[in-house]
């Protein structure tokens, strides 16, 4: 029997316990200011709040994220909290990578991370009951009797995934951003391939960038940027070069006059073709044909004395 190779998949972030999961909307009283032995994840959905730790005060605005380490005393100002929407998630995680979040002070979530957080919070609200702060025995969230092990594992996985996504995206490795760039590049390459094929199939026409964009069902600005980024030149510049390369092939074949070539490639006049060809090659069509193919053709520049 052949030996199989297995790769061990280590877990960077493991969240074995969750303490609280709150979604505050205009709360009448602020959370208590106490040192806890677990991590606090604070996210501002809307509005603006002021937080305070031993290192000073920090203003957090919409979309901002802050982590508070176990044992760190922190306070949220009452004035800002009244008109703000905030998510507070607290949990235990002993991964040494968590210190990275504490050092970053303030981070921002991407759209994908924000959506995951909102879904995770909504999930937590269904699984836990919030215990009032005036309770003498407990504080935080109590698991509902209806909660299942599968639902709790899904919640655990969602929190761990959120931490992992945020860490990878904001860390120097930038793996997720790199993957996104590679995905965008692949889409660009496919789009450019379709664009070039379309121009090649319609080389006898005088196309515009707008016509090509409509044919490919993309915006003109997207097509221009994609083409320029990938090919290093504009679409019309590339199309003009394509026409002139085709003109050279027709010259070498020797069966068409320059006027016929100009007409076949969609130029408005033989003179238009002459000017475009000379601008590109530095030679008139007849001089280029004679130099490269040893043939002298009847052309617009000969008949006009050029």
Q: 48-79 burial, b for 16+ CB within 10 Å, e for fewer?
A: ebebeeeeeeeebeeebbbbbbbeeebebeee
CA distance 245 to 253: 13
Domain ranges of the chain: 17-173, 177-232, 237-303
**pLDDT for 27:** 56
Residue-by-residue pLDDT tens, the chain, 306 positions: 677 778 888 888 999 999 888 888 765 555 555 667 889 899 998 888 888 887 788 888 888 999 988 888 777 765 555 678 889 899 999 998 898 888 877 888 888 999 999 999 999 989 988 765 544 455 567 889 999 999 999 999 999 999 999 998 887 555 555 656 666 777 888 889 999 999 999 999 989 999 999 999 888 888 998 898 888 889 999 999 999 999 998 988 888 899 999 999 989 899 999 999 999 889 999 999 888 887 444 444 444 434
pLDDT value for 176? 53
Three-state SS at 296: coil
pLDDT for 232: 87
Quick one: pLDDT at residue 117?
95
**CATH architecture of the domain formed by 237-303:** Orthogonal Bundle (1.10)
Q: What pairing do the DSSP bridges indicate for beta strands 56-61 and 140-143? A: unpaired
CATH architecture of 17-173: Sandwich (2.60)
């Amino acid at each position: 029997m052949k030996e199989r190779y297995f790769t061990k998949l280590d877990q960077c972030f493991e969240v074995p316990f969750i303490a609280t999961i709150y979604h505050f909307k205009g709360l009448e009283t602020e959370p208590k200011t106490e040192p806890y032995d677990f991590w606090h994840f604070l996210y501002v959905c809307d509005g603006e709040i002021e937080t305070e730790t031993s290192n000073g005060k920090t203003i957090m605005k919409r979309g901002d994220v802050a982590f508070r380490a176990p044992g760190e005393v922190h306070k949220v100002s009452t004035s800002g909290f009244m008109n703000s929407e905030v998510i507070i998630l607290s949990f235990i995680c002993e991964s040494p990578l968590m210190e990275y979040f504490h050092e970053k002070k303030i981070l921002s979530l991407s759209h994908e991370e924000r959506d995951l957080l909102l879904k995770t919070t909504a999930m937590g609200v269904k699984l836990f009951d919030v215990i009032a702060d005036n309770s003498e025995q407990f504080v935080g969230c109590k698991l509902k009797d209806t909660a299942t092990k599968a639902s709790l594992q899904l919640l655990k996985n969602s929190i761990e995934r959120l931490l992992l996504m945020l860490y990878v995206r904001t860390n120097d490795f930038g793996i997720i951003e790199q993957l996104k760039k590679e995905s965008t590049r692949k889409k660009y390459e496919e789009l450019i391939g379709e664009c070039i094929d379309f121009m090649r199939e319609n080389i006898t026409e005088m196309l515009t960038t707008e016509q090509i964009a409509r044919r490919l069902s993309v915006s003109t600005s997207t097509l221009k940027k994609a083409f320029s980024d990938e090919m290093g030149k504009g679409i019309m510049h590339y199309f003009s070069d394509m026409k002139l390369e085709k003109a050279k092939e027709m010259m070498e074949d020797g069966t068409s006059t320059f006027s016929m070539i100009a007409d076949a490639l969609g130029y408005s006049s033989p003179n238009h073709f002459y000017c475009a060809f000379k601008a590109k090659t530095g030679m008139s069509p007849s001089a280029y044909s004679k130099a490269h193919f040893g043939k002298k053709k009847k052309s617009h520049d000969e008949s006009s004395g050029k």
